[in-house]
Structure 1
Amino acid sequence: MTDRLVRKLRLGSGLIVFAFVIMHLANHSLGLISLGMAEHAQHWFMAVWRNPVGTVLLYGALILHILLVLRMLYKRRTLVMPAGEAFQIVTGLLVPLLLIDHIVATRIVHEVYGYHDTYKAVVRTLWVTSPFNGMRQSFVLLIVWLHGCIGVHFWLRYRPWYMAIAPVMLSLAIVLPILALLGFAAMGKTVAHEVAQEDERGYPGGYYSDVRSFGETGSAPGGKMAEDLWPYRAGFYGAFSLSIAVLFAFRAHRRLRERQYQVAIRYAGGEVVHAPRGFSVLEASRLGGIPHYSVCGGKGQCSTCRVQIIEGAENLPPPEPLEQKTLNRIGATPDVRLACQLRPTGNVSVVPLLTPMAEATIPVYTQAASPGREREIVVFFCDLRHFTSLTESRLPFDIVFLLNRYFAIVGRIIEENGGRMDKFIGDGAMALFGLRATPKEANRQALKAAAAIIREIDKLSAELADDLAAPLEIAIGIHTGLAVVGSMGYGTVKNVTAIGDTVNVASRLESVAKEFNAALVFSEPVAQLSEADIAGTESREIAVRGRGEPLRVYIVSKEASAHFA
């Protein structure tokens, strides 16, 4: 079974369980309307998951997911890992442990004794009879939901469209469990009020205190039932504990066996790590405490952990399909391999190609460690023309005041139109559009922002006319295309930016605007994607350094820019 297939199975099984959790929480939230509404919806919920197909699908997915996580833990040669990975694994292992009682008290009792685990019966137990168990189940709910959300985020985080829907998904991730808990509380108050009015005595003992449910089904009394269920609980807890014990027993056995077959991995700084054969180079680095980038967490989905092979190439297995795909994507030479996928069979000398230095402590999966990837974006450059001559005789404070007014206009309009300010350089600024929008929408946003900035700079120039030797004039260049977008910088001075040919061309178009004494110059791809009306707009073909063919651009005067607002 290949690692790629295993990941797909783990993802698929996890999504099935997550779908069950979403429906379950949505059912809970209906308790905010009424207890009767929640129980009515529960019939449809049960129809989906308590038929033979639903049962096999749900519990098969749950068991498969757990087994694949245990397999993954066994295959890891070291348990040293980033905090994000550790948190996901720990919460994943807590889920089945914390759910055992709930599964036994609902599904097992239903199957064995015919117990009707209605909302009224279960909520009565968790809210009235045993509130501690109610708090425990609320904690389980949050752990299960958090683990599922982390898994979905890790699955989708590199999809180009994910950033556009991420705010909606985050809102859902926050609101749904809150509504579920509020629905549970509302049903609890309703049931507590009914119990107080009925003034009848129930059988204590956890989930089995609803006498009427048991009487209707002819089940045994609650106390006897609770005793009869202990073998089920003991079996589930025992099976889970045994699986964990077997996992670590196998790991210990493998470690003892592999001590006889170790390989030496030498690094450029002279460090040597002796690791058991079968360890990846990345695992060896972690074992030896050597800083080594791996933004994707060692899953072969990025190339930040790549190393160059100096010696021992004959001791390396050929790349697996997943590794080869990534190496092909970056155009790697034959002596470059991914450290997370490379498992030497003999001694080898390597040089990590991306040296993390002291900032390797930045957690993975954070914005500060966001890996670069190609995105279809719009790059926006603007600059004040003749700014040096405007400030030659002005005081430093006056220059700062003018720049801050100018930057405030640019920054506000860029953000209002869906763009992201990238950086300010002197009297120039760079912005990105399309990080959370479609290419068509992003190009329209950029043109609209350009028209608004030209208009507002004209107003600022009129406002400061008495203090300026000449009117303020702005030059804007816009181009769209593929660019590498990622977090770049050092230490705390690190932010998401873009590099590549698209950025260079946009910068060149801003210079072209100055050359033609125009307010705005945008490229033909921008015109095509935005579907802007360019009838009557002056166009020219210009040479751009590094490009073999000329680029057609559209030149817009200050007066004509309002057409694109």
Structure 2
Amino acid sequence: MTTVSATGIFSERTIRRARLGSGLVIFTFVLLHLSNHALGLISLSAADKARHLFIGIWRNPVGTAVFYSSVLIHMALVLRAIYMRRSLVMPKGETAQTLLGLLIPLLLIDHVIGTRIGHELYGYIDDYQTIVEQQWIKSPATGMRQAVAVIVVWIHGCIGIHFWLRYRAWYANVSAPLLALAILVPVLSLLGFVQMGRTLADPSYQLSTNPYEVNLNARFLSDPQVRADVATVRAGLYGAFSASLLIVVAARARRRLKERLDQVAVHYPGGEVIRVPRGFTVLEASRLGGLPHYSVCGGKGQCSTCRVQILGDYESLPPADKMEQTTLRRINAGPDVRLACQLRPDRDLAVAPLLVPAVETALPANSQETSPGREREIVVLFVDIRHFTTLTETRLPFDVVFLLNRYFAIIGKAVEQAGGRLDKFIGDGAMALFGLNTAPEEACRQALNAAAAIVAEIEKLAAELADELTLPLRIAIGIHTGPAVVGTMGYGRVRSMTAIGDTVNVASRLESAAKEFEAAIVISEPVAKLADANLSGIESREISVRGRALPLKVYVIPREKAAEPLEGKD
């Protein structure tokens, strides 16, 4: 079975973008609509005044075309996605989003008919007073249904926004405010609706709608021809949606019947053999068979966590499309490595997942599944105490703990005040990261400021403990910048955000070089350039770094100058 090309106007990437774009348009409409409801907490007239602005945006020809085309595109692509999905076994979040999305038309068709369609076809005046009175006083059951619809629509949209943003570098920093907003918007909207309903139910409230509007609405609602037309429209919309679902279900059933006679077997290292219809991906085979299989990006080919090694003849398999090739090229994968979410085998094959999930009953919220590794430009700082073993060999354990805690407190405070993140302590050493939320230039300056602060405070601590230590207290710091994989790593409850890669290794090597040169700080040339540091009078050297063919130029900062911030050039 062929797959959709990764390029062109109807590529999978283009289709995903169309689904995202249409969803964002609908989410914006819903956000403004619910915010308008919330103004009912102020007064009914305040909500109606804001409604004119809302209508001005969405009921003009352009707004109408954009919104309703987005609704049709989004619904069509959702139904297409349900059809294209070979297995309906999916993560809980995706399941919830899909089910809530299918509920939305059933909950909102009557509301759309009673507002926009009634207004456009029959001049029905659908202001807040009319709609709230209808749903609060005359038909409370309809009001409850709309309250449920508000919650369903909002949760569906928020799940989609979360799936879209969850792997952005900045998302972790704004997730808490966004969660608060996600809770407040529907709550305030429903409270505004309740307040408007209570206002209208109050006998002392005088109707602000003029008698002409009241009579006009009443005439249209009681007109038998109008009621018959509305019933026809309602039947048509419900019928169209139901028919669309039935067509998708029937198409899936037809495909399943055809594919039962045309299956391939996927063999796994543990001896499991899963037979799936031709056209299924290896990832779908794993999920169908209940085998754990990483897929951080959700099977979109945008990460390599689902990659598998082909055991046997890999050259006769369907070739990788452009998107899969791009991902595999980035990780320098061998020719026998493929992405399980993109590979649709046309014959029996044996695979070995290269990233095997740990079997754990519970994963913390900030886990590998929610914070996968991403390559980012960061600055890494390593610091270590020189001659630590000699310093502590004659001291009591409690004294060593006291010294380390004072030392760690200095490092932690300096790193955090400079804007960095303390990553971990390793014996008497520490590792800090800069640039997780800032540009590389700013991160380099932050790292240099932190290093200067650490040296200055360590000098004070050394003077304080001079009479108690056998050797002067000295430290060595190495700083380097470059790309590194940043993500949540560890096992069970011992998981934390950290960084790995060549940049980390080089920074560690620079810290060792600082010890070799009897210097306080050694920084790489990229750090100096990005920070625009004033290095006049600072010695430069070239050192060899294991794993690198060319030497690396570094700047060696002696203890006498290390406590002075390296200010930018004039």
Task: Tell whether the structures are fold-level matches, with TM greater than 0.5.
Answer: yes
CA contact (8 A) 2:486 2:499 kept: yes
Q: Distance in 2 between matches of 1:388 and 1:562?
A: 25
Q: Which amino acid is the alignment partner of residue 182 of structure 1? A: L
1:108 positional shift: 1.9
Distance 1:504 1:340, change over 3 A: same
Distance 1:352 1:19, change over 3 A: same
2:64 to 55, 59, 79: 55
Equivalent residue, structure 1, for 2:162: 153
Equivalent residue, structure 1, for 2:4: none
Q: Distance in 1 between matches of 2:175 and 2:212?
A: 41
1:167 to 173, 195, 206: 173
Is residue 10 from structure 1 mapped to residue 16 from structure 2 by the alignment? Answer: no
1:399-455 C-alpha deviation (Å, 9 max, x unpaired): 223222322332233233332222211011111111111112211221222222223
Is residue 339 from structure 1 mapped to residue 340 from structure 2 by the alignment? Answer: yes
Which structure 2 residues correspond to residues 283-302 of structure 1 after superposition, within 5 A?
A: 283-302=284-303
Distance 1:451 1:73, change over 3 A: same
1:183-224 C-alpha deviation (Å, 9 max, x unpaired): 65357536634652546799xxxxxx9976442567424697
Q: Distance in 2 between matches of 1:105 and 1:531?
A: 64
CA contact (8 A) 1:78 1:283 kept: yes
Equivalent residue, structure 2, for 1:493: 494
CA contact (8 A) 1:145 1:177 kept: no
Equivalent residue, structure 2, for 1:39: 48
Q: Distance in 1 between matches of 2:136 and 2:464?
A: 67
Q: Which amino acid is the alignment partner of residue 436 of structure 2? A: L
Q: Which moved more, 1:287-296 or 1:237-246?
A: 237-246
Distance 1:313 1:183, change over 3 A: closer
CA contact (8 A) 1:114 1:219 kept: no
SS at match of 1:535: coil
1:252-289 C-alpha deviation (Å, 9 max, x unpaired): 22222211111111122222111111111111111122
1:89 positional shift: 2.0
1:561 positional shift: 3.2
Equivalent residue, structure 1, for 2:5: none
Q: Which amino acid is the alignment partner of residue 565 of structure 2? A: F
Equivalent residue, structure 2, for 1:92: 101
More helix by share: 1
Q: How many residues align?
A: 556
1:128-168 C-alpha deviation (Å, 9 max, x unpaired): 5555654543443343333323323333444xxx4336534
SS at match of 1:220: helix
Equivalent residue, structure 2, for 1:120: 129
Q: Which moved more, 1:179-188 or 1:58-67?
A: 179-188
CA contact (8 A) 1:34 1:187 kept: no
Equivalent residue, structure 2, for 1:400: 401
1:85 positional shift: 2.2
CA contact (8 A) 1:295 1:365 kept: no
1:327-383 C-alpha deviation (Å, 9 max, x unpaired): 222222222211111111111122222222424975999555533232100111111
1:467 positional shift: 3.7
SS at match of 2:202: helix
CA contact (8 A) 1:267 1:350 kept: yes
Equivalent residue, structure 2, for 1:19: 28
Equivalent residue, structure 2, for 1:372: 373
Q: Distance in 1 between matches of 2:222 and 2:523?
A: 77
For structure 1, which runs of at least 5 residues remain unmatched after alignment? 203-208
SS at match of 2:319: coil
CA contact (8 A) 1:121 1:213 kept: no
Which structure 2 residues correspond to residues 433-444 of structure 1 after superposition, within 5 A?
A: 433-444=434-445
Equivalent residue, structure 2, for 1:74: 83
Q: Which moved more, 1:387-396 or 1:240-249?
A: 240-249
Distance 1:311 1:27, change over 3 A: same
Q: Which moved more, 1:531-540 or 1:209-218?
A: 209-218
1:38-81 C-alpha deviation (Å, 9 max, x unpaired): 33332222122112332222122112211211111111111112
Equivalent residue, structure 1, for 2:188: 182
- What do you get for the CA RMSD once the two structures are aligned? 3.1
For structure 2, which runs of at least 5 residues remain unmatched after alignment? 1-9
Q: Distance in 1 between matches of 2:479 and 2:357?
A: 34
Q: Which amino acid is the alignment partner of residue 163 of structure 1? A: A
Distance 1:451 1:201, change over 3 A: closer
Which structure 2 residues correspond to residues 332-481 of structure 1 after superposition, within 5 A?
A: 332-359=333-360, 366-368=367-369, 370-481=371-482
Equivalent residue, structure 2, for 1:206: none
Equivalent residue, structure 1, for 2:271: 270
Q: Distance in 1 between matches of 2:290 and 2:267?
A: 13
SS at match of 1:476: strand
1:100 positional shift: 2.3
Q: Distance in 2 between matches of 1:413 and 1:380?
A: 12
Q: Which moved more, 1:323-332 or 1:219-228?
A: 219-228
Distance 1:122 1:417, change over 3 A: farther
Q: Which moved more, 1:503-512 or 1:48-57?
A: 48-57
CA contact (8 A) 1:379 1:479 kept: yes
Distance 1:339 1:194, change over 3 A: closer
Equivalent residue, structure 2, for 1:553: 554
SS at match of 1:65: helix
Distance 1:141 1:534, change over 3 A: farther
CA contact (8 A) 2:38 2:192 kept: no
Identity score, percent: 58
Distance 1:201 1:298, change over 3 A: same
Which structure 2 residues correspond to residues 316-327 of structure 1 after superposition, within 5 A?
A: 316-327=317-328
CA contact (8 A) 1:35 1:187 kept: no
Q: Distance in 2 between matches of 1:409 and 1:455?
A: 10
Equivalent residue, structure 1, for 2:220: 220
CA contact (8 A) 2:476 2:512 kept: yes
Distance 1:449 1:99, change over 3 A: farther
Q: Distance in 1 between matches of 2:29 and 2:191?
A: 21
CA contact (8 A) 1:363 1:369 kept: no
Q: Distance in 1 between matches of 2:506 and 2:80?
A: 49
SS at match of 2:359: helix
Which structure 2 residues correspond to residues 532-543 of structure 1 after superposition, within 5 A?
A: 532-543=533-544
